[in-house]
Amino acid sequence: MENVRNLDLPRHIAIIMDGNGRWAKSQKLTRIVGHRRGVQAVRNTVTACREWNIEVLTLYAFSEENWKRPQTEVSALMALLRKFLVSERSLLIQNDIRLKAIGDLKKLPTQVQKVLNETMTLTKHHQSMTLVLALSYGGREELTRAIQTIAQDVLTKKLHPSDIHSETISSYLDTAEFPDPDLLIRTSGEYRTSNFLPWQSIYAELYITPTLWPDFTKEELFKALLAFSRRERRFGLISEQLFHFEPQSCPSIK
Q: Which among 13, 92, 103 has a CA at the least distance from the CA of 52?
A: 13
18 among known catalytic residues: yes
List 18, 174, 180, 182, catalytic entry: 18
In angstroms, the Cα distances linking 201 to 52, 54, 246 are 22, 17, 19
In 3-state terms, what secondary structure has residue 198?
Answer: coil
| Burial class of residue 1 (count of CB atoms within 10 Å of its CB; 0-12, 13-18, 19+) | exposed
List 44, 66, 95, 195, catalytic entry: 66
66 among known catalytic residues: yes
Cβ atoms of residues 48 and 221 within 8 Å: yes
Task: Give the whole-angstrom CA distance, residue 61 versus residue 66.
Answer: 10
In 3-state terms, what secondary structure has residue 128?
Answer: coil
Cβ atoms of residues 179 and 12 within 8 Å: yes
The catalytic site residues sit at 18, 66
